[in-house]
Chain A
């Protein structure tokens, strides 16, 4: 019985496909998979906007939206209707083609990212040999669309917001990739379902998740921080901060295009949370071995929603980082720490499995964290600059 609820979507897909002729089945599989993934994630997006507003509100000692339905649950519908009926204002001097294409390309890139995530046992849309690389390739395409959005508005503030957003995304991509590579090193494969399977054992009821190892813990932290920087989330949301740059690179977007940017940001957040859950938190595996009767896809979405809650929690707590503080943090703290993490992972891989491995790796990580924290994050001297070459 537990096996069947676990595989219920796979069985359902098989049953529907059995009604199709033989030559139509691959296309039918593709369509069903895409429809399923998109339906789930768009519903999750609507739920998350509600969840975020209520969560932030409760952290700020107030109610969230509570008028539109029971506990405000229909608020996303109201927001969607508002976005649809708003007038779509495009500035006269804006680059019409690029202005139209930018949100589309962003949405396409983040939706493609969802294709490689293993949502449950045997439930991944495309099982590629280099799945993680595909994910990061699509993440790189989002930067181009952010630039297009900022440039096409012919607005200095949008352009400034776009440049800052791209600089931030590029800077944080390196710690993101390096901490992911640590997990790949231990699992030995770039394919995401296989990484989840590598974490699926249990020793005395505790799972083999990578987050419970020193390098995995540091890697998960680095990945989480870099992930919130990649998706322009607080405290790294300077490009879209309302008080700094009037919504930054999507200032000139109104109505449904703005809603598409919003959707793309949230779905990007989901996909990067899904990848971090897959890499470090055991994917669709249960936390304790006797809880394995609960279906795998429930565990996966529970973990993703917990990660989303952590993102909301951090958003409600921290102030926004300034651009130079952001860049300092990326290059002077995160990058060296992720390189040290990579070295520690290699050490872990080649040492024997006993307490010395744990002690050595933990000690190296803690020492480097403290040293980098003291040296890398010193405050800058603020004085007029002298340029050496550009006179």
Chain B
């Protein structure tokens, strides 16, 4: 539990809190991007280079931009939406507590199995690549299929009408 870990945790949790508590929607989106960056730095502090950089590249670079574009294209972010908490906040609180309980139980149970893991696992990029196209090739292909479906959907939504259907 080094000071670096506390700092990065503070950034991540602070970014997440800001993403739900701020008034301006664009500020919320950018705070979410800060939280993603904090997560990437946490991966890097655990020596998972590939995961950290890909987190940066995909989340901050692509997903963050996607969220921002979605906000810009669908609603006027200048308006202050009335009320910070929705009407069904009790139900939301219950569900969030349940999810947190499940995740916490999973983490603590695994922590009890490996109490003092000092040696960091060595997973170089080469190993990750070999695993992706060796053992985990089916999830890779399914993800590729998902991406293709998303691309085709985007093209259809944005496509011009055919000449015959004027």
Contact = CB atoms under 8 A, between A and B. Distances in A.
A129 interface: yes
* Residue in B53, B60, B157, B160 with the greatest tally of chain A CB atoms within 10 Å: B53
Nearest to A132: B53
Contacts of B30: 98, 144, 148
A128 interface: yes
B132 interface: no
Interface residues of B, number: 28
* Residue in A128, A144, A163, A166 with the greatest tally of chain B CB atoms within 10 Å: A144
Contacts of B126: 189
Interface residues of A, number: 29
B161 A140 contact: no
Contact of A130 (B61, B69, B125): B125
A170 B33 CA distance: 17
Interface in B16-55: 24, 26-27, 30, 33, 40, 49-50, 53-54
B62 interface: yes
Given A140-B60, A389-B157, A129 B49 contact: yes
B57 A137 contact: yes
Interface string A130-154: 1001101111110110011001000
B61 A137 contact: yes
B57 A388 contact: no
A386 interface: yes
Interface in A175-190: 189-190
B65 A147 contact: yes
A140 B159 contact: no
Contacts of B72: 151, 159, 163
Interface in A53-85: none
A385 interface: yes
B60 A133 contact: no
Contacts of B15: none
A166 B50 contact: no
A170 B125 CA distance: 24
B56 A130 contact: no
Contact of B60 (A130, A144, A166, A190): A144
Contacts of B157: 388-389
B56 A385 contact: no
Interface of B: 24, 26-27, 30, 33, 40, 49-50, 53-54, 56-57, 60-62, 64-65, 68-69, 72, 124-126, 157, 159-161, 166
Given A133-B54, A144-B61, A147-B68, 12 more contacts: A98-B30, A134-B53, A137-B56, A137-B61, A139-B61, A140-B57, A151-B26, A151-B68, A385-B160, A385-B161, A388-B159, A388-B161
